[in-house]
Amino acid sequence: MRHSERHRADRIGWLRAAVLGANDGIVSTASLVVGVAASGASQASLLVTGVAGLVAGAMSMAAGEYVSVHSQADTEKADLARERSELEKDPAAEHRELAAIYVARGLEPDLARQVAEQLMTRDSLGAHARDELGISVALSARPIQAALASAASFAVGAALPLVVTALASTHGVIPWVSGTALIFLAGLGAVAARVGGAGVLMGAWRVTFWGALAMAITAGVGALFGAIG
């Protein structure tokens, strides 16, 4: 009987897009609100700015993820098409190439040739995709999944500082938005690290650090332009 195992590699595609979207939603919206608030804008202006940032950011994240991941998918398809053509033209050379890969990984030459032969008999393209090109089902590019995960997580992340902006007083917007954004970022980093199997404290720290830096720089720029204006 096979023992059960739990791996996280199949989460890479959507987890990366979701974490990136949520992180960007929190950081960009909180930084935008803090920067505009530092210039002396009213609470109504802050909310309008934040909502506009949420919509524009979600659409931008979706489009960016779709285009970038689709480019990866196109490259994978092109490589697979080329490999399929090579298998049809010269299967013996492809067999030797696959066997050489297994020898490089530590198999004896005779055993490597046998393994390559058996795998190619069952699924030649699949064997070369995995072991020569590094393309697998779990790690293959999924543009639509990445776009939806990124846009949805961005909207959720951006909504958090917006809710705080709506509830905070005009004079308390900057400390409240900044403080709660750091808490949200720490929570996001911890959850993402937990889901991905990494260290929770380190995951929370790195997300919080870069978020704090972004908000500090944006607040400084907003205060500078507010003073100039």
What pLDDT digit, counting tens, does each position of 38-79 carry? 878 888 888 998 999 999 989 988 888 888 878 888 888 888
pLDDT of residue 13: 54
* Residue range of the domain that includes 125: 10-228
pLDDT at 139 over 60: no
pLDDT at 159 over 90: yes
Q: Which two tokens stand for residue 63?
A: 């489009």
Give a yes or no: residue 4 inside a domain. Answer: no
Q: pLDDT: is 117 or 225 the higher one?
A: 117
Give a yes or no: residue 148 inside a domain. Answer: yes
The full 3-state SS of the chain, as one line of letters, equals CCCCCCCCHHHHHHHHHHHHHHHHHHHHHHHHHHHHHHCCCCHHHHHHHHHHHHHHHHHHHHHHHHHHHHHHHHHHHHHHHHHHHHHHHCHHHHHHHHHHHHHHCCCCHHHHHHHHHHHHHHHHHHHHHHHHHCCCCCCCCCHHHHHHHHHHHHHHHHHHHHHHHHHCCCCCHHHHHHHHHHHHHHHHHHHHHHHHCCCHHHHHHHHHHHHHHHHHHHHHHHHHHHHHC
pLDDT of residue 15: 67
Q: pLDDT: is 194 or 44 the higher one?
A: 44
Q: Which two tokens stand for residue 148?
A: 């939806």
Q: Do 58 and 151 meet the contact criterion of CB atoms below 8 Å apart?
A: yes
pLDDT at 3 over 50: no
Task: Place 229 in a pLDDT band, splitting at 50, 70 and 90.
Answer: very low
The full 3-state SS of 145-196, as one line of letters, equals HHHHHHHHHHHHHHHHHHHHHHHCCCCCHHHHHHHHHHHHHHHHHHHHHHHH
Task: Place 110 in a pLDDT band, splitting at 50, 70 and 90.
Answer: very high
Task: Place 160 in a pLDDT band, splitting at 50, 70 and 90.
Answer: very high
Give a yes or no: residue 1 inside a domain. Answer: no
pLDDT of residue 221: 74
Give a yes or no: residue 2 inside a domain. Answer: no
Tell me the mean pLDDT in the region 149-153. Answer: 86
| Nearest alpha-carbon partner for 224 in 29, 27, 40, 48 | 40
Distance CA 69, CA 145 (A): 10
pLDDT of residue 100: 92
pLDDT of residue 227: 45
Tell me the mean pLDDT in the region 186-215. Answer: 79
Q: Do 86 and 65 meet the contact criterion of CB atoms below 8 Å apart?
A: no
Tell me the mean pLDDT in the region 20-26. Answer: 84
Q: What angle do CA 60, 68, 76 make, to 5 degrees?
A: 160
pLDDT of residue 228: 42
Q: What is the number of structural domains in the chain?
A: 1
pLDDT of residue 158: 92
pLDDT of residue 7: 46
pLDDT of residue 73: 80
